[in-house]
Chains A and B, each alone.
Chain A
Amino acid sequence: MRIAAPTDRKTEPGVVGSVLVEPDEARVLGSLADQLQTLLGDALSAGDVRDTALKRLLPDAYRNDPELADEWRRLSRGGLVDRKIGFARTLSVALQPIAASGQAATISLTFDAALDWVRGIGDVRLVIADRMGITVDGDEGAFSEPGVRDVYELLAWMQDALVQLLDEAQPPGATTDGSLP
């Protein structure tokens, strides 16, 4: 995998960077993004979330007030889950053709797509960390299937590289996401 800033911003307006993806990487990441969408979909149908990874993806907004926490869940969870599924779907849709064709390809990312990627990848990492038993800083985790740690590290590298792309493309402060500090 290689994540790069565009060499010439004029040829592809709106593109903030590109990701060169190998077929194996597309298959693994695409599968994880698909699984994330299923997991999030379960949260909508389940009502009461018990999975610790889902609890981390969709934390209570109030720690010590069950009534406010319930109200918050009722009002915000559906929209939040939909948006998170959307982030993961952006990953799945982009990666699927590469996984299917078996040929490495370069994916061009707009600012919005890169924003979806960095958030979808962050959510996948949260779930993997939960499954690996990573609970405190510097934790190696208690268990993992072979290769899972490599994927977790690759996703960390991607998160950092995407932050750099987004930062160069549109330094924070230049625009906000519509909310006041």
Chain B
Amino acid sequence: MTSLTAAAPLLDEKVDRQLDERVLHAAEVPWSTVVWNDPVNLQSYVAWVFRRHFGFGESTAHELMMQVHIEGRATLAHGNREHMERHAETMHEYGLWATVEKDDR
């Protein structure tokens, strides 16, 4: 279970901080599915997989594919961990290199 509680807040900060603190249920912690560039799969194939699996339109899928190609990675989805793992597993079925990571907060 993830807690946003800081390890040792200074006393005078503590009261203010408590207003924002609560323990998140696992299902509420946002995660993302990331697809990484590889030199093997064709651009047409990667864009098609993005359209087919995530339901993106042609231009969005193309943009994300180009982001993977140029920047080395793109975030394809956000959501709970279980859901992001399913996306990653499906990407692996298609031979794409995908990982799950916790969103920056």
Contact = CB atoms under 8 A, between A and B. Distances in A.
Interface of A: 56-64, 68, 72, 76, 80, 83-84, 118-119, 122-123, 125-126, 129, 134-139, 156, 159-160, 163-164, 166-167, 172-173, 176-177, 179-181
Contacts of B41: 122, 125-126, 159
B29 to A, nearest CB: 12
Interface in B46-105: 48, 51-57, 61, 69, 77, 83, 85-90, 92-95, 97-101
A179 B39 CA distance: 27
Given A136-B39, A137-B39, A138-B39, A179 B86 contact: yes
A177 B53 contact: yes
Contact of B99 (A59, A129, A160, A180): A59
Contacts of B89: 61, 76, 80
Contacts of A166: 48, 52
B2 interface: no
A62 B87 CA distance: 13
A122 B88 contact: no
B39 A135 contact: yes
A129 B39 contact: yes
Given A119-B93, A134-B39, A137-B39, A179 B45 contact: no
A159 B94 CA distance: 12
A138 B37 CA distance: 12
Q: How large is the interface on B (under 10, 10 to 19, 20 to 34, 35 or more residues)?
A: 35 or more
Contact of B93 (A62, A80, A160, A180): A80
B55 A172 contact: yes
6 contacts: A72-B85, A80-B93, A125-B41, A129-B40, A160-B42, A179-B87
- For A57, A118, A122, A136, the residue with the greatest tally of chain B CB atoms inside 10 Å of its CB is A122
Given A122-B94, A137-B69, 9 more contacts: A59-B92, A59-B97, A119-B95, A122-B95, A129-B39, A159-B45, A163-B45, A172-B51, A172-B52
Contact of B40 (A76, A119, A125): A125
Contacts of A80: 89, 92-93
B88 to A, nearest CB: 5
A160 B40 CA distance: 12
B85 to A, nearest CB: 6
A132 B99 CA distance: 25
A63 B98 CA distance: 10
Contacts of B69: 137
Contacts of A58: 92
B98 A59 contact: yes
A63 B99 contact: yes
